[in-house]
Structure 1
Amino acid sequence: MAPRASWKGYLKLSLVSCPVRLYPATSASERISFNQLHKDTHNRINMKPVDPELGLVERSDLIKGYEYEDKQYIIIDDADLEAVRIESNHTMNIEAFVDEHSVDVIYQDAPYYL
């Protein structure tokens, strides 16, 4: 299966721009992931949403919340998240070229092809 671009946009250098696509250099299929199993039966464990007072909760009854103090939450809905979304113009502007060793490794978390 061909890799899918994780970002599409334009690369701009001064007055010249060209369309580009960003592809991850590694795939998720190369990663190893484990499932949680019961130690005796080897059955896979399912994580179900449970309210301490009501018991099992339907996924449709779940909402998002941010805990700002112990057991104190601000409820966040999709409209709130949409209001703070940053509009992207899908353009990468090249402002300068730097030596590769001058970029801190903290910014090099995942490799990509452009």
Structure 2
Amino acid sequence: MTVLHVNTYVRTAEFVIALAPNERGKGHATEAARLTLDWAFHMAALRMVWLKVLEPNRAGVAAYEKAGFRPSGRLRKSGYRLGQPVDELLMDALPEDFSGPSAVIAALGG
């Protein structure tokens, strides 16, 4: 499941994803993120979408990069993993970074 927390005043959104542990490593996160960005940029006309990911989550970072997100910053020791403070990486995507035709519009017959 993906969620966009949209700020309607500036047309940006925070991206959040929940993926069942037994579904990890199957490409679902990349596909869900890609389709969410597609909708955000082609249907909702957002200017930017961003997310935070724990630095040790290398698989998550790789999935988000495949979907079109790019590294944009770091929040030092702002998260926890296994009881230890870890950095959170900030990533963002812009419409111009999201190449190709819209799969969402195509699915709607447009």
Flag the structure with more relative contact order, 1 or 2, with Cα contacts below 8 A and sequence separation at least 6.
Answer: 1
> Higher strand proportion, which one?
2
TM-score normalised by structure 1 residue count: 0.17
Rg larger in structure: 1
